[in-house]
Amino acid sequence: MQQLSRRQLIKLIKEELLKADPNEPRKTEMNEFSTSNPGKKVIKEGKRIMGAGKAINAIAHEQTGRMRETLNKISEFVWKTGLALSEIDSLKENESVANKLPSVTELKQLHKEIQRLEKL
């Protein structure tokens, strides 16, 4: 019995994966998840999160000054998070859920804004 090197084994596995039924399009794990029942539940909850972002925005318009600005940023952050989750099933080619999420920079700015509100 001939032993395969690690490199040969990886090459063999890749070849076998490429030989999969060519008539059946390959799906990403995200695509498979988004069409499953749990994926549909995540999409539904993403829409609810977007609704929470809108509600926070409405409250922001009742406020003044820095509180209003901060609540607007919070609502935008929450809404973007919900939007990314609610659209996991409708991604077009070369799109990514990760690109739809709020950035780390936005989170850091939001963190600073909240800290400013807590200071005397």
Residue 16 lies in a domain: no
Per the confidence metrics, is the pTM higher than 0.85?
A: no
* Range 78-87 burial, b when 16+ CB lie within 10 A, else e: bbbbbbbbbb
Residue 26 lies in a domain: no
Number of domains in the chain: 1
Residue 21 lies in a domain: no
pLDDT for position 92: 67
Residue 97 lies in a domain: yes
Domain limits at 69?
Answer: 40-120
Place 28 in a pLDDT band, splitting at 50, 70 and 90.
confident
Burial environment of residue 50 by CB neighbours within 10 A (0 to 12, 13 to 18, 19 or more): buried
> Rounded to an integer, what distance in angstroms lies between the CA atom of residue 86 and that of residue 80?
10
